[in-house]
Structure 1
């Protein structure tokens, strides 16, 4: 997943929107509880890189692969409440794409009318514009907001203010949200998004287990033989394996693992493949010294969702397949 993750905590908190989205999609273990809620299998939020300026915004979206399918992009701005009581109740907000680095030339993306005397999030659709930026990063010069109020038959500039990035951890800073699908890894049903390849941080090597911990004994029957192939509990704590510096949620999950024997003859309860059945016969008849018994491995796997910081401190919600062993079989 790209470079190694930062060893220190990120300098900002994730947007509440991304936390709420994770909680709506997944349970405490990251297991998907609302399969069709998200569009695609990756959601990214990008922080505004223009600090202090009220009307200009820039988002670096170069971490999105050109081969990904961009399904939706939204600009989310928090409008502050107007303090003056002498202005009209409504104002017009125009969102423009900057066409060059001068900050003067712009192309209108969308307009909307918003109330002046309330505060809250305003959402602007920017899918076509961001798609162009993903295809050609040099075309990304940022966005500009122009606010105005009606005055007779004309419009005058409005004092409407939007929250901007600041040192305050609780500041509702502006951000861009992208919903994509990683088409490199197939359809949502059989996609294979790897924790070790992809655009996010590369997990660091797992630390060795403390010496005080005792290795679990292999489960055996009273006769001394191994138990038949089956699923066993396994909880993965992300802090213990060194991933807690970049993973926001969950803090860990129940992965389970498969262990046990695949004795001859393999019955239906072992969920054996045809190849495993033949291999079992060859081993039992000692037709080849190099052929062992089939292995007990996951027969069915489920995905989980991870909410994490990438190397640019963008917050990503991503579905990772084949993370939970649901059942075991002899293969």
Structure 2
């Protein structure tokens, strides 16, 4: 699994998959496309997942990892800069050159800098998906500030063909919106959501560094101090109970990376009469509850039912045929119960 998606998952959810904060660019599905070229250091080819064609693309980036040089000796040139230029390949004959290809963007880095480099790819992705320009891949050129080309032996990027490098392989991240509206995750504003809202130039580096990880959930002291009698009384009626779902028992663990299980919650138990406001019942539910208790033998009107009222978003990291996907599913984790 690509390193970026593991870190992003931990920045958007708790260990149980409960979503926290707003995903980057308000995306509800984030795709990670992996490079099909195992050995090339300058040419990259990615298959476009069919689902992406049916979504609204909010943003996209190209992630490459520069490996540190074997020689640790420093010289004066280490203080200089390199320019990494990204091109959209317009013909298979041009996959090893920048000439005749479509310029996408560039980034300046220190000669001594290694680690993740992220280049914006939104316009190029729109050309592939919306304008239906043939996808012949991407090409990068690396230049000195005087525009002279840098040799491939000077700047080496991680590839999945290299040993122990699969997590560092080149990827394209695509942030998509498949539903209208806003992702309904925890309303808490997180450092991650603020970083993307303010377009923090170090936001991707902070994700890779694990600076946005969601901390473990803290339980309120009042929850643990609730008396046993109160719990027993409350549990006689409609209440929220745990319902742990294990993906391996469903046969889904082959394609779901994280989490391995989650507590979906289940609402069960009879609804009390009369209905208290703690259940936030609708007027219809109140009337039905009264009428049923006045006419318990009525064959048509049944009792009101205990059902989920509020939900939390569930975040899942999974594989499909061509990509790794980080997806937010709304209305997946029951948060409270009501009678309807």
TM over 0.5: yes
- Aligned residue for 2:200? none
The equivalent position to 2:65 in structure 1, one of 72, 78, 82, is 78
Q: Using the alignment, how far apart are the partners of 2:255 and 2:269 within structure 1?
A: 35
Q: Using the alignment, how far apart are the partners of 1:230 and 1:55 within structure 2?
A: 58
- Aligned residue for 2:190? none
Secondary structure of residue in 2 paired with 1:155: coil
- Structure 1 segments, 4+ long, off by >4 Å, are 82-88
Secondary structure of residue in 2 paired with 1:187: coil
Secondary structure of residue in 1 paired with 2:249: coil
TM-score, normalised relative to structure 2: 0.73
User: How far apart are residue 110 of structure 1 and its match?
Assistant: 1.4
- Aligned residue for 1:106? 101
- Aligned residue for 2:253? 244
Q: Is the 8 A contact 1:79 1:120 kept in 2?
A: yes
The equivalent position to 1:158 in structure 2, one of 138, 142, 151, is 151
- Per-residue Cα deviation, 1:217-267 (whole angstroms, up to 9, x for no partner): xxxxxxxxx921111122222222222111111111122111111244323
Q: Is the 8 A contact 1:82 1:118 kept in 2?
A: no
In the alignment, is residue 181 of structure 1 matched against residue 174 of structure 2? no
User: How far apart are residue 157 of structure 1 and its match?
Assistant: 4.4
User: How far apart are residue 295 of structure 1 and its match?
Assistant: 0.7
After the TM superposition, which residues 1-331 of structure 1 pair with which residues of structure 2 at under 5 Å, given as runs? 14-33=1-20, 35-36=21-22, 38-39=24-25, 40-82=27-69, 88-89=77-78, 90-103=81-94, 105-149=100-144, 155-159=148-152, 160-166=155-161, 168-171=163-166, 172-183=168-179, 185-189=180-184, 227-286=236-295, 288-312=298-322, 314-331=323-340
When residues 158 and 233 of structure 1 are mapped into structure 2, their CA distance, relative to the original with a 3 A threshold, is same
- CA RMSD in angstroms, aligned pairs only: 2.6
Q: Using the alignment, how far apart are the partners of 2:43 and 2:313 within structure 1?
A: 39
Segment of structure 1 superposing worse, 38-47 or 109-118: 109-118
- Per-residue Cα deviation, 1:121-177 (whole angstroms, up to 9, x for no partner): 111111111122122445322110112335xx6624433322222163434211111
Secondary structure of residue in 2 paired with 1:102: helix
User: How far apart are residue 88 of structure 1 and its match?
Assistant: 4.5
Q: Is the 8 A contact 2:307 2:338 kept in 1?
A: yes
Q: Using the alignment, how far apart are the partners of 1:131 and 1:306 within structure 2?
A: 26
Gaps of 5+ in 1: 1-13, 191-225
Gaps of 5+ in 2: 186-234
